[in-house]
Amino acid sequence: MQWYDKIFELIDLRSFSNLWYWLGLSIFWSTVGHWVLGVPHDMIRRAENRDDPHALHDVEALAAIYVRRLLFITRTAGVWLVAGLSFVLSGLGLLAVAYRVEFAQALLCLLLPATVIFLLTLRTARLIEAGDTHGPALLRRLRRHRMVVQIMGMVAIFLTAVFGMYQNMLIGVYG
């Protein structure tokens, strides 16, 4: 047995039957749903409940920092980000669809919805920059964005699970 056979035996590239893939997928969507534009959800809840007098100020400060940072990055390196992301998604799409590489299919099931979430986050950041920067309007915008992210996460996990079960059944029948 060669050394690379041992490595590929240890790292199972059949992603949809791998526990680590599903664990990583759940952690990814949990994290994305918890951090809304750089602001943790518990801080947003505290600012809404007015339990902590400084919570609203902290939420406004964190959101302003993240919005400025995100918009600066996209305005200065946006073309390169789009080009790199297009290259990666196109390559993964080709490997996943034309060559039926399961690892590429699994990554595509993770990165495609993440790209949509990134675009929605960018849209929300632009809306916040345009006017919803303080008080209840900011909290409402952050809550709405979190709800959309969570719905997209549920749909993405469901579709990934259905596709993963289909792949596992195909491998069981033909493998």
Q: What is the mean pLDDT of the chain?
A: 90
List Cα–Cα distances, 41 to 3, 69, 85, 140, 158, in angstroms: 46, 19, 28, 12, 23
Q: List the domain range (segments joined by +) for residue 88.
A: 3-174
- For 70-115, how does the pLDDT look when each residue is reduced to its tens digit (9 = 90+)? 999 999 999 999 999 999 999 999 999 999 999 999 999 999 999 9
**Count: domains in the chain:** 1
Dihedral angle of Cα 10, 15, 16, 18, to the nearest 10 degrees: 30
- Other C-beta atoms closer than 10 Å to the C-beta of 120 total 14
> pLDDT of 133-170, one tens digit each?
788 999 999 999 999 999 999 999 999 999 999 988 88
Output the CA angle 68-146-60, nearest 5 degrees. Answer: 40
Token pair of 77 as six digits: 């390196």
* 146 in Cβ contact with 154 (< 8 Å): no
User: Which pLDDT score is estimated for 11?
Assistant: 61
What pLDDT was estimated at residue 20? Answer: 85
Hey, what are 82's tokens?
Answer: 């789009």
For residues 36 and 170, which has the higher predicted lDDT (pLDDT)? 36
